């Protein structure tokens, strides 16, 4: 059962502005990366369903988080169908993210009062997702759609809350572009935890990248 309610999850996403996106088949690496991000100030984390038995890694990870990172909200990403969403919600996922919009997932998530953040690449998809109860929509892939899409969508649909994923970098110029266009928060992957740092088990450096990124986002959002 999800530890945090829907409002808590969404408020934390919007307040911090950054949601790390990560997958690794090794539970110990996953735990260390999550802990490093947590130590760097991250409070929302998306573990993606991208490998064989990923749900088993998630099951270990969520128990670890509840003990070692008590203020962290952990969700599952790369979810494309309702049965998989149900599985992760049963394991304790606090939110569900997908690369596409699937109305069947919305039904499952709504029934359990768990936020569903679907991937959308058009105004119609965002509109359909909102009608299905999705408060926050993921604009994906961000590097293909770019800031102009966000700006263009917000003009006729200013109430929209959007999380851009793909092409987001922990750099001030990049983040200024996204948030100035109207992005509510961003999803960020390998830029937060470079492969070399993971290979060298340099968890402290990952914490520092996260801390610096959060500082930049805070600065950018209050411009």
Task: Convert the pLDDT of each residue in 7-48 to its tens digit.
Answer: 999 999 999 999 999 999 999 999 999 999 999 999 999 999
Of the pLDDT bands very low, low, confident and very high (cuts 50, 70, 90), residue 221 is: confident
- Does residue 1 surpass a pLDDT of 70? no
Report whether 98 contacts 105 (CB < 8 A). yes
For 159-206, the pLDDT digits (tens) are 999 999 998 999 999 999 999 999 999 999 999 999 999 999 999 999
- Does residue 99 surpass a pLDDT of 90? yes
> Which pLDDT does position 36 carry in this prediction?
98
> From CA 92, how far away is CA 88, in angstroms rounded?
6
Tokens of 117: 């953040």
Q: In the chain, what are the domain boundaries?
A: 6-221
Rounded to 5 degrees, what are φ and ψ at 182? 125, 10
> From CA 54, how far away is CA 25, in angstroms rounded?
7
3-state secondary structure of 184: coil
129: exposed, middle or buried (C-beta count within 10 Å: 0-12, 13-18, 19+)?
Answer: buried
CATH 3.20.20.70, applies to 6-221 = yes
């Amino acid at each position: 059962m999800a530890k945090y309610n829907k409002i808590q999850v969404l408020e934390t996403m919007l307040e911090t502005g950054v949601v790390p996106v990560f997958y690794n088949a090794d539970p110990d690496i996953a735990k260390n990366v999550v802990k490093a991000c947590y130590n760097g100030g991250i409070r929302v984390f998306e573990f993606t369903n991208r490998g064989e038995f990923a749900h088993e890694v998630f099951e270990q990870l969520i128990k670890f988080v509840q003990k070692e990172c008590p203020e962290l909200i952990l969700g599952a990403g790369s979810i494309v169908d309702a049965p998989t969403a149900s599985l992760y919600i049963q394991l304790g996922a606090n939110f569900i993210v997908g690369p596409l919009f699937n109305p069947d997932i919305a039904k499952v998530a709504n029934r359990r009062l768990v936020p569903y953040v679907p991937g959308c690449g058009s105004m119609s998809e965002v509109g359909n997702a909102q009608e299905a109860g999705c408060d926050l929509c993921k604009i994906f892939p961000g590097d293909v759609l770019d800031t102009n899409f966000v700006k263009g969508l917000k003009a006729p649909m200013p109430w929209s809350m959007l999380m851009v994923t793909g092409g987001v970098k922990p750099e001030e110029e990049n983040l200024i572009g996204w948030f100035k266009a109207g992005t509510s928060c961003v999803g960020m992957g390998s830029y937060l935890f470079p492969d070399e740092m993971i290979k060298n088990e340099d968890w402290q450096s990952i914490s520092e990248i996260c801390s610096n990124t959060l500082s930049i986002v805070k600065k950018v959002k209050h411009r």
